[in-house]
Chains A and B, each alone.
Chain A
Amino acid sequence: MVVDDDESILEVFQTLLRSEGYSVETADNGRQAIEKAKEARFDIALLDIVLPDMRGDQVAVEIKKHDESIRIIFITGYPSFQNCIDALDIGVSEILMKPVTSEELLTSINHALFASSPEAESLVF
């Protein structure tokens, strides 16, 4: 699942990840992301830290309540020290700085998914 309030970003991320064979859902705000996480199981969530209704770390906590095993990657334009502390507390796999290249994003996703469960199959975003 890709969560960002910028539709263009959702679109390019979706295009890239689908071209790599992943199934992708998108959400343009925190509540929508939490609702989608309740309805379906996701392997990884790419979360923008600054969302219109909630902060990314709050969304991450809520999503983790429903699915402890979900991996979270924060993608932000301006990470603060507090963001990093929050990320550590939540157990976020990585924080990526925008603009992230396709290669960096795919590497990070692979790292987050396969570092902890090499046998992971049929991954769903």
Chain B
Amino acid sequence: MNMNLRLKTLLLMGLSFVCLFMTLYYTSQHALMNSLLELEDNAAYPAWVDIPRDFHNYVYVQSRTNITYLLILLSIISLGFGVVSLLIVEKLVISRLVQLGASVGGIELDKDSLGRVSMSGDDELSQLAQDINGMLAALEESQARLRDVERMAAIGETAAMVGHDLRNPLQVIVMTLDLIKRKCDSIFVSRAQMPEELRSVKGMLEKIGDQTRYMNKIVSDLQDYTKPMEPRFAETDLRRLLRDTVSTIKIPEAVDVVENFDVSTCLLLDQYLMRRMFSNLILNAVQAMPDGGVLTLKCYEADGAVYVSVGDTGEGIPEENLERMFEPLFTTKAKGTGLGLPVSSRIVDIHGGDIVVESEVGVGTTFTVRLPFETCRPVGGPCDARGRGEDEVLLGDGQVSRQDKEVRVAT
């Protein structure tokens, strides 16, 4: 292909040169012959002019020699121009096209990052390189989306399988535990009559119950993540929602909580989802400080948005893990589904906001949630003054999936 282009250019210029040469040659010959014919016409000369007999022949030979030299000179000049033109075309077009072709050919389509082609200058070729880069960016984006869809589909299949295959044994465990407890209670009507040993057995049963609920939460998280969210927005007093969320979380005594809520605007939020998201961030922060520390909760308005930050003074997150924090099923915790942050991110996403994480190993981590006024539509005025946002606040325990609640479809 590249050689073809070079060969074609060479052929084109060669052809142009031959055509030019022949045109000039035949035109000059024609002109020369016409001149000679005119000279041979005696009537063209005054009578007193004595024309030597071989004068015409002499003029013809001299003129022809001059024309031949002139043509040779013109040919050399044309060839020189041709070679220079070829070199310019080679440098400006062909070699850059070859370079562009090599860059495009070197792109590995199965990689996450496709790279970019580079082209200096400010002409059509550099514009073409920019267009190719634009297409590569679009391709990367669609590939990333496709990967997400595939991952979601895989998780969805897993969730469906787990939902059916794991919930059946969970059902048996939960119900059997209930039956054992009922049996214990039926034997000893009052707790005071129950022997100490049996009370400890009931304590053990409670532990099994707790762990079963945790297993159920894992299943619910999986299913929640793969199901489309259907938010119900309601006017919400964010400060109240944050305080209520904190109050439902068991915070160890070794962890000090610092609250600084400086927001009075009502926001339109899905309170259940928001509560779930903040619970998740706060729980993560608490779990990051097993030996205690400071949990900082801030809420403020800036740049047309409300920011809520949840900071800890825990172990921090290594840089290589930071980028993967929001990937589903990615977790560094021994007891984690790797779905908490992806679900949180989706919740903030459907509110038109985003989550930013900053972390330094050994210092701590801060998650900052941005809720823009543009999408969360502030109604204006402090919530307390209007007494709104209270009726729909706080549906159940934020740690329990919505799916844990029964769905009444008809009565």
Residues of A within 8 A of B (CB): 4, 6, 8-9, 12-13, 15-16, 19, 50, 75, 77-79, 84, 87-88, 91-105, 108, 111-112, 115-116
Contacts and interface: CB of A to CB of B under 8 A. Distances in A.
A98 B236 CA distance: 32
A109 to B, nearest CB: 12
B1 interface: no
B212 A99 contact: yes
Given A8-B172, A9-B168, A16 B179 contact: yes
B4 interface: no
Contacts of A16: 175, 178-179
B interface secondary structure, majority: helix
Given A78-B223, A102-B179, 11 more contacts: A9-B171, A16-B178, A50-B164, A77-B171, A78-B164, A79-B407, A95-B406, A98-B171, A99-B171, A99-B173, A100-B174
B182 interface: yes
A12 B175 contact: yes
A15 B170 CA distance: 17
Contacts of A96: 406
Interface in B144-166: 159-160, 163-166
Contacts of B409: 84, 87-88, 92, 94-95
Interface string B195-230: 000000000000000001000100000010000000
A4 B159 CA distance: 20
Interface string B377-411: 00000000000000000000000000111111111
Nearest to B216: A99
A104 B408 CA distance: 12
Contact of B179 (A15, A78, A99, A100): A15
Interface in B326-362: none
Interface bin, chain B: 20 to 34
B102 to A, nearest CB: 51
A6 B176 CA distance: 14
A25 B223 CA distance: 32
Closest 5 CB pairs of A and B: A78-B163, A77-B167, A102-B178, A98-B167, A99-B174
B167 A78 contact: yes
Contact of A94 (B166, B175, B406): B406
Contact of B407 (A12, A78, A84, A91): A84
A78 B167 CA distance: 9
A120 B172 CA distance: 29
A98 B178 contact: no
A50 B165 CA distance: 11
Contacts of B178: 16, 101-103
Contacts of B174: 99-101
B410 A87 contact: yes
Contacts of A95: 406-409
Contacts of A78: 159-160, 163-164, 167, 223
A19 B179 CA distance: 9
A77 B163 contact: yes
A48 B174 CA distance: 17
A36 to B, nearest CB: 21
A103 B408 CA distance: 16
B160 A104 contact: no
Nearest to A104: B406
Given A99-B173, A99-B216, A102-B178, A115 B168 contact: no
Contacts of B160: 78
Nearest to B176: A12
Nearest to A95: B407
Given A9-B168, A16-B178, A102-B179, A94 B159 contact: no
Contacts of A115: 411
A53 B182 CA distance: 35
Contacts of B176: 12
Contacts of A111: 411
B167 A99 contact: yes
Contact of B171 (A50, A87, A100, A103): A100
Interface string B357-371: 000000000000000
Nearest to B219: A77
B178 to A, nearest CB: 4
A115 B173 CA distance: 30
A85 to B, nearest CB: 9
Nearest to A111: B411
Nearest to B403: A97
23 contacts: A8-B169, A12-B176, A19-B182, A77-B166, A77-B171, A78-B160, A78-B163, A78-B164, A78-B223, A79-B407, A84-B407, A88-B409, A92-B410, A93-B411, A94-B406, A94-B411, A97-B405, A99-B175, A99-B216, A100-B171, A103-B178, A104-B406, A112-B411
